[in-house]
Structure 1
Amino acid sequence: MKRAVILFMLFASAVWGANADLVLRNGMVITMDSANPKATALAIQKDKIVWVGEDAQAQSWIGAATKVIDLKGAFVYPGFIDSHAHILALGGSRLEIDLNDTPNKETIAKMVQERISKAKKGDWILGRGWDQNQWPEKKFPTAQDLDPVSPENPVVLERTDGHAVWANSVALRLAGVTAATKDPQGGKIIHDEKGNPTGVLVDNAMDLVNSKMKSLSQTEEIERTTIALKEAAS
């Protein structure tokens, strides 16, 4: 027991006697420690928090190579764990056409046309946020509403709730969706009065077109994740 105490004291002396790599001060640090719930500063060494306390004591951790950040009253929290965060989807949505609060399908067609003008032939044009209940006719759109502005690019636009997509004829053709295509389990292909697919695919039927898109590269995943995390931290 005595030996353990001595070793602990030596370890503590080594750690507490060194300068920190980073010191945050002049903030509101939420410690989650009921005995000391709040502090104003903390010190970090080698990516580990080694000290939490008040600004007056923070100076002892600052050396010539220490980076010091004045938080100017900002909060510091422990890391949050979100059990239902669509990080890649959030980042991806910021690169797609934002269709939220669009007043009608004609407006969306113009937005798609504008995006295609900046894209290459064959590029997938993606968007999210449309809601037919906000439009005057309150009816599902069709592939024919998009086809005039997208003859050479597959277009897939996700509904605001994420449970349906609106695809143009190019996307349906690439996915092999025809009048003979059966509804997948847990999904539905919307058909017109002649039995032809309209371009709206619900739930698991969305995979018919989504599966034809190329997988994201590592670079693309990093880009989307970075965008989402920056937004989450803003």
Structure 2
Amino acid sequence: MLRFASLVSALFCSAAAAAPVVLSDIKGYGFDDNRQLQPFSVLVFDDESGKVIARGDAALTKKYATAKQQAGKGATVLPGLIDGHGHVLGLGQNLAQAELRGSSSEQEAVARVARFAAENKDAPWIIGRGWNQVLWPSKQFPSHASLDEAISDKPVYLKRIDAHAGWANSKALALAGISKDTLDPPGGEIVRDSKGNPTGVLIDNAMTLLEQHIPDADNAAKIRALQAAFKHLLALGITSVHDAGVDTDVVKLYQQLAAEHKLPLRIYPMLSARDPQLPAWLEAGIIDDPTDFLDIRSVKIYGDGALGSRGAALIEPYSDKPEQKGLLVTQPDQLTQIMQMTIDAGFQTNVHAIGDLANRLVLDRFEKLVPENKRAQSRHRIEHAQIVSPKDIPRFASLHVLPAMQAVHATSDKNMAGDRLGVARLRGAYAWRSFIDQGSIIVGGSDFPVELANVFHGLHASVTRQDHDNQPTGGWLPEQRLTLTEALRSFTVDAAYGAFQEHSMGTLMPGSWADFIMIDRDIFNIAPEQLWQVEVEQTYVNGKQRFKRGTE
């Protein structure tokens, strides 16, 4: 009994000693219970419990006069940013691979790969990512020939920027046994020349033919990649990520890091529908972490490919390639089966759908498989919802399906989307305003490392519909612009809603986690064109500083 009393006494003294922190002289912006923007100049939080205690004006400094005082020095404070669709391991690995983003031609991409290979002579494979043939003068897919000229003694494999196509040299194709006689797998394409020989480009499910031969990274390497990604994300003010499609190995690494208190930001992993162990996860049931560092209750299912590689599944043929309609990565019967299994288990079902056909197929299944009285509470999602038939957009609202969209995809795709789709289909493409106006809640994200993991780029794209050179004048499809408040919601409280977490993060309401960032300018008092230039000065998770610029 004495031992128990001593323990209680120690806990009480510890709690009593945990004085709140008063952060004053700030330009704070949060949201209330109705998702309305609320400014404040003082934030009070407990860095022991990690919770917000109060927010308001200077009167709070008097109320908490004995608390620890922290001067904000006029900084702008926002809720911690939430990226509603990213790939954390992929980001970490990408940071240690050949970077091809922004390469202006096939030749420049090859030159970058050659430099990377020269700097990594011990690497058994040369791996990279980021090429985008749409930005090259030829606008044509690359071939193994150019890679072979630079590197022929070891395999090279380079993912397209959207990870829906891969580019390999002859050595890699040979190791994978991919030849003229290899058949295209369902939902995939081996791009071939006029004689039927593989060119080196593999699309969607055909990528697996090669990727299965790349040596797997061990757990230690994966943890290093995850930690590199964590550091990168925190420096950008991201305090929570919805990790879109992770296998059992990665989930277990997350669980290990969480158990060791080594998760510095919050992870909402979507279990991959491709994981053979998915049925076991579903049978085990939802894992609701009271700390919200690792809530496991969703599944990522793959519907179609991507627009840039013409893998997005369309109702009508591509305008710039009439013989193609895209690819269904998961065939309709299998899609129904996996969605049914996930829905029946009570898990949130998040389906990748970019093309209008894929979106329609997924909506049809949600309508058939989800009982009407469970639609709102289930918060099922369509990841990307990028090209939707205008008559299907209202179905998102009526079926209570959340569009999880990435604003930067519009400004990245604007140079080729019209060519791929034609004018008429653009009416339902990247249609954020149409969704917002009908009452849909948009889960904002970036899809890193497809795009850069910078939420301020997403805010800028949402508000201006322009690239960083302020092009096109007036914005691309400007009628679909969002207000800054709507855009910020999509990356805070609305993204939290997409993970059943809106009462614990994304608002800075009293009782929520003290996840917040301090930035270098007031986003509500600058020209919208400057939004992408905003820099994060400090990042706090659970009231603990996790990043400070200049001390990295």
Please indicate the TM-score interval, normalised by the length of the shorter structure. 0.7 to 0.9
Q: How does 1:161-180 map to 2 (within 5 A)?
A: 161-180=162-181
Equivalent residues of 2:20, 2:44 under 8 A apart: no
Look up the match of 2:236.
231
Equivalent residues of 1:25, 1:58 under 8 A apart: no
What displacement does 1:81 show? Answer: 4.2
What displacement does 1:187 show? Answer: 0.7
3-state SS in 2 of match to 1:83: strand
Look up the match of 2:470.
none
Look up the match of 1:59.
65
Look up the match of 1:125.
126
Look up the match of 1:25.
24
Look up the match of 2:159.
158
What displacement does 1:102 show? Answer: 2.1
Q: Pick closer, same or farther for the CA change 1:177–1:230 going to 2, 3 Å.
A: farther
What displacement does 1:134 show? Answer: 2.8
Give the counterpart letter for 1:187 in structure 2. G
3-state SS in 2 of match to 1:73: coil
Look up the match of 2:223.
218
What displacement does 1:97 show? Answer: 2.9
Q: Deviations over 1:157-177 (max 9, x none)?
A: 222333211111222223222
3-state SS in 2 of match to 1:129: strand
Equivalent residues of 1:25, 1:70 under 8 A apart: yes
Q: Pick closer, same or farther for the CA change 1:85–1:79 going to 2, 3 Å.
A: same
3-state SS in 1 of match to 2:213: coil
Look up the match of 1:197.
198
Q: Pick closer, same or farther for the CA change 1:74–1:185 going to 2, 3 Å.
A: farther
Give me the whole-angstrom Cα distance separating, in 2, the residues matched to 1:224 and 1:124: 22
Give me the whole-angstrom Cα distance separating, in 1, the residues matched to 2:50 and 2:80: 13
Q: How many residues align?
A: 217
Equivalent residues of 2:190, 2:206 under 8 A apart: yes
Q: How does 1:73-92 map to 2 (within 5 A)?
A: 73-92=74-93
Equivalent residues of 2:100, 2:130 under 8 A apart: yes
Q: Deviations over 1:1-27 (max 9, x none)?
A: xxxxxxxxxxxx999964427543332
Q: Pick closer, same or farther for the CA change 1:124–1:72 going to 2, 3 Å.
A: farther
What displacement does 1:49 show? Answer: 2.2
Look up the match of 1:140.
141
Q: Deviations over 1:21-52 (max 9, x none)?
A: 75433323445346994341313142422522
Q: CA RMSD in A?
A: 3.1
Give the counterpart letter for 1:24 in structure 2. L
Give me the whole-angstrom Cα distance separating, in 1, the residues matched to 2:155 and 2:20: 51
Equivalent residues of 2:80, 2:237 under 8 A apart: no
Q: Pick closer, same or farther for the CA change 1:217–1:110 going to 2, 3 Å.
A: same
What displacement does 1:60 show? Answer: 1.5
Give the counterpart letter for 1:151 in structure 2. S
TM (normalized to structure 2)? 0.35
Give me the whole-angstrom Cα distance separating, in 2, the residues matched to 1:96 and 1:232: 24
Unpaired segments ≥5 residues, structure 1: 1-12, 63-67
Equivalent residues of 1:26, 1:73 under 8 A apart: yes
Q: How does 1:72-111 map to 2 (within 5 A)?
A: 72-111=73-112
Give the counterpart letter for 2:23 in structure 1. L
Give me the whole-angstrom Cα distance separating, in 2, the residues matched to 1:196 and 1:86: 33
Unpaired segments ≥5 residues, structure 2: 1-11, 239-535, 537-552
TM (normalized to structure 1)? 0.76
183-192 or 37-46, larger mean C-alpha shift? 37-46
Look up the match of 2:263.
none
Identity level (%): 34
Q: Is the radius of gyration larger for structure 1 or structure 2?
A: 1
Q: Pick closer, same or farther for the CA change 1:55–1:133 going to 2, 3 Å.
A: same
Q: Deviations over 1:110-169 (max 9, x none)?
A: 111111111134433233232223333332211111012212332222223332111112
Q: Which among 31, 45, 60 is matched to residue 43 of structure 1?
A: 45
Q: Pick closer, same or farther for the CA change 1:189–1:114 going to 2, 3 Å.
A: same
Look up the match of 1:206.
207
Q: Pick closer, same or farther for the CA change 1:50–1:81 going to 2, 3 Å.
A: closer
**Relative contact order: is structure 1 or structure 2 higher (C-alpha 8 Å, sep ≥ 6)?**
2
Give the counterpart letter for 1:116 in structure 2. A
Equivalent residues of 2:25, 2:74 under 8 A apart: yes
